[in-house]
Amino acid sequence: GRPVKWTFSRREDFYGGEMDLGTYCYKVGYKNDGTITAVKARAIMANQTLPVFGIVKHIIDNTRIPNVYGELIAVRVNKGPTVPVRCEQNANCHSMTLVFNHVAADLGMDPAEIALKNDGAEGHDLNWLNERKIEMGFTPRDSLRECIEKGKKAVEWDRKWHLPGGRRLPNGRMHGLGFCWSHEWDDSGGSSEIAIHLERNDGTACIYGCRCDNGVNAETAYCQIAADELGMKIEDVYYRPHHDTGFYPMTPDTSTNMSVNGYAIRNAARLLKRKVLEAAVSPTGQTQLGVFPPAFPGKTPEELDIEESVIFEKANPANRIALAEFVGPSGANGPLTAMKGEPVKNPDTPPGFPYREPFFEYSWQMQTGTYAGIRLRMCRQAHFMEVEVDTETGEIDIVRVVNVNDVGKVVSWDGCEGQQYGGTCMGVGRGRTEEVIYDKSTGVMLNGNLLNYKIPTMLDIGPIDTLLVETGQGYGPYGLVGIGEDVATIVPTLIIPAVHNAIGIWVEDLPMTPDKVLKALGKA
């Protein structure tokens, strides 16, 4: 029959499938030293809705491998539509993890060393990539090496790593370590409108933007950018997400919010600071309390600065005035303007009743998401997983997950680490327990609820290490780059090399439930 109403109940919500479900096949050419020369990949995916993202894009983006070919075939099956689970790059991360770890296992080499040997971009090596970095004004740094070194130290890789199936623990379980890597997400596309206003009563700065707070600390980070650019205390800046402001920052989706909104806020703050300093060296217009002389007579805006919410003379820091004190007396400070909106050339004889514009500025940022030529990714991420596998029950214990992300520049440590924590939980869930199950004979969904769809708790994951690297090689303001989606996207497949390192057998059907492990061991 045909549905007559879609209520989007909890059960109906589960009909939206994962767009990366399918069968993947790889053919890889490599040398004995670990240099990969060619990758051919083919995937058959169910109800694929976004084939444009492919399955080998990250291999092209991140490596010196000269020959890469990918083919994605979409087939229609009797299930619901597929959508990205946290991100549309799941299949690309899947390919990166499997290709590099299979080569490392076949050669008996450390997979992190295989990654370093093949690091590059668009089929070119690191020397070529470093030349491009210099051309674009970046200081070349080996992002992947920094991420790997930091992660290895945290997980004690050099002490614990071993060949597949090479370590049985005193408790009888098999020990395993897994590694995967890719580039950090870039600035992609989006648009943003942001305004900032200095309040006349207390000199605080208010950021205006119609945007929902989805709990990832974004608004605090935006306040940090504004405070830093304006020279104000962080407690003197706040975000007002009014729905009727008329300013629309980028919605909280993808991994590009900090880049897109960050640029708009930074630009608006710089314009506003300039307006404040210009007003500080000129007299106010006629107010109900009279005309106020310049706060810094005989000075130019270039001779002043703002720090800790205080305007001061650079050459004589003792000559200062608090921002709140400066803004307050004239009611609303700003450029002296005539009644008709014409600039006042002579404050003594203005053409009409003069007034002060409020300290208000706005800015906008547009990023298309498509660029002429190659869009190089220069920041990397590396992830490590330690597991214990019970070969009698097939149970997998996630002992530890270490995430290392080069975000270019950290604006909010809490925000970045929150993405690493949350992404790990999502990724481990998809890799280990989460699966929508259908009855094979009737096609009826059997677990369209949160009771039987197994989402892990923190007790199912173990300690999570959140490490950040700042190379400044991102396209966002201050050289930052996004982190919002990538941990949840790359971690699901990380369980595959970790379990292989433990038992010496590849189990590549996710989620990796105990029955699949036992089947691989010949015990089911």
Q: Confirm whether 10-187+371-520 and 190-368 share one CATH topology.
A: yes
Cα–Cα distance measured from residue 396 to residue 499, given in angstroms and rounded to the nearest whole number = 8
Q: Kindly tell me if the per-residue pLDDT of 99 is higher than 90.
A: yes
Residue 289's pLDDT is what? 55
Contact 126, 117 (CB under 8 A): no
Cα–Cα distance measured from residue 485 to residue 364, given in angstroms and rounded to the nearest whole number = 24
The predicted-structure confidence for 288-317, as pLDDT tens digits, reads as follows 555 677 889 999 999 999 999 999 999 999
Q: Kindly tell me if the per-residue pLDDT of 489 is higher than 50.
A: yes
Q: Kindly tell me if the per-residue pLDDT of 138 is higher than 80.
A: yes
Name residue 469's beta-bridge partners. Answer: 406
Contact 484, 426 (CB under 8 A): no
Name residue 306's beta-bridge partners. Answer: 311
Pairing of strands 336-337, 355-356: antiparallel
Q: Kindly tell me if the per-residue pLDDT of 442 is higher than 90.
A: no
Q: 10-187+371-520 — its CATH code?
A: 3.30.365.10
Cα–Cα distance measured from residue 364 to residue 47, given in angstroms and rounded to the nearest whole number = 37
Q: Kindly tell me if the per-residue pLDDT of 474 is higher than 90.
A: yes
Contact 217, 224 (CB under 8 A): no
More confident residue, 76 or 315: 315
**Highest mean pLDDT of the ranges 69-73, 200-204, 337-341, 440-444:** 69-73
Please, which pLDDT band fits residue 399 given cuts at 50, 70 and 90? very high
Cα–Cα distance measured from residue 333 to residue 318, given in angstroms and rounded to the nearest whole number = 23
**Highest mean pLDDT of the ranges 208-217, 314-323, 334-343:** 314-323
For domain 190-368, the CATH architecture is 2-Layer Sandwich (3.30)
Q: Kindly tell me if the per-residue pLDDT of 189 is higher than 70.
A: yes
Cα–Cα distance measured from residue 193 to residue 210, given in angstroms and rounded to the nearest whole number = 9
Q: Kindly tell me if the per-residue pLDDT of 207 is higher than 70.
A: yes
Contact 86, 485 (CB under 8 A): yes
Residue 347's pLDDT is what? 55
Q: Kindly tell me if the per-residue pLDDT of 330 is higher than 70.
A: no
Cα–Cα distance measured from residue 506 to residue 194, given in angstroms and rounded to the nearest whole number = 50
Side by side, the strands of the sheet bearing 360-368 are: 237-240, 205-208, 189-198, 360-368
Residue 1's pLDDT is what? 66
The predicted-structure confidence for 11-62, as pLDDT tens digits, reads as follows 888 887 888 889 999 999 999 999 999 999 999 998 887 766 789 999 999 9
Domain boundaries, the chain: 10-187+371-520, 190-368
Where is average pLDDT lowest: 64-68, 184-188, 206-210? Answer: 184-188
